[in-house]
A and B are shown apart, each in its own frame.
Chain A
């Protein structure tokens, strides 16, 4: 190996150009090859190519304090943690492995039926939330939550999944009935079933024949959509439940519409805490 350094005659810019064709992960790995690769893989030109092209707009719309950075690599990793934008109503981050964009719409950015009626929904702040406010369900029969985002904002040529980010209060009840979720983008629609509370209990009522009939109908109508989604733990202490997936081609199809609805069960529901809806690229 000694004395045969193949790349020592290539300018650093040339090696940076090569590394910008890999991925953030490969660039970080390359930095451990040799010192030429290290300085090339840390150059701004490499990390500029991994950042979403419209990152300056995102930074301009970010809520204070301003994002400070001394290199594009530092900025990239800073943006892997969510930054609040749009007057604290949305968050933006980058998926580390691919550099693709993730957004979360806060509960304040969603349409929540009865959300403005204090008897039914309460707006509260939780220290573990990235947003100043989350929505807590006090009690409704008609549970309907929806949100939309312009497809232009998301990374093109990317498959995304949307997740409702939630918690269940200690006294949560009535959320075990299958809810229907849907994602629409242009001609594409994806529908799923979500069971918000797996070991749920119902207050004031036991299973009636009508309940069982409704459950059966619901399960029949969704039998082609696979098993119901259940909440999964996230690393930030919240739970998430998948709402569906979509492929964002060139972002030319207008808004992506996402919703969760449970209006068939007829029972009262309470204790659901909604942080927002997150859209993340699917990593292969």
Chain B
């Protein structure tokens, strides 16, 4: 059992990832997730809360970033540091990034949603569509005609 808490005073919530790993998380951290909050309100609080859409490695990442995010409040340096980590993750492992984004979206965690969205937004800035596709392994699903039309309609943005 993985414990992500070292405090004994606050309430502990038990969660289970899609691959069966069980996590114990402080209530204050768990409640960052609006999904978990809703589930607890629906009286799942005394049971193990299942998270069928999140694997253990991704859930670790989510918890880690929730904690970092809580720490960085009012700390500009840390904020900067956390913001710059996105670029590295997107370059080295876009797959993990998209899994993290999916998990954050599923768990409905506002603070991490903004952080992970900012990562990709920073990454997109100034890059050409071709480079974005190449780096993020996205398939170009436009016909040549469609693509030409989009480029024509948004020509000012490519000057």
Contacts and interface: CB of A to CB of B under 8 A. Distances in A.
Interface of A: 1-7, 9-11, 14, 17-26, 28-35, 37-38, 96
Interface residues of B, number: 37
A6 B125 contact: no
Is chain B's binding surface mostly helix, strand, loop or mixed?
helix
A21 to B, nearest CB: 3
Contacts of A96: 156
A28 B157 CA distance: 6
A18 B98 contact: no
Given A11-B105, A23-B125, A29-B128, A4 B142 contact: no
A32 B97 CA distance: 21
A93 to B, nearest CB: 15
B113 interface: yes
Task: Name the residue among A33, A35, A38 with the largest chain B CB count within 10 angstroms.
Answer: A33
B141 interface: yes
A17 B138 contact: no
A29 B129 contact: yes
B91 to A, nearest CB: 13
Interface of B: 94-95, 97-98, 101-102, 105, 113-114, 117-118, 120-122, 124-129, 132-134, 136-142, 147, 150-151, 154, 156-158
A33 B138 contact: yes
B136 A6 contact: yes
Contacts of A23: 125
Contact of A32 (B95, B125, B129, B137): B129
B142 to A, nearest CB: 7
A170 to B, nearest CB: 35
Contact of A33 (B101, B129, B156): B129
B5 to A, nearest CB: 29
A9 B102 contact: yes
5 contacts: A4-B139, A21-B114, A23-B125, A25-B156, A29-B154
A35 B158 CA distance: 18
B125 A22 contact: yes
Given A4-B137, A32-B142, A33-B132, 18 more contacts: A1-B134, A1-B139, A5-B138, A9-B102, A18-B117, A18-B124, A19-B124, A21-B122, A23-B125, A25-B157, A26-B126, A29-B127, A29-B158, A30-B129, A32-B129, A32-B150, A33-B138, A38-B150
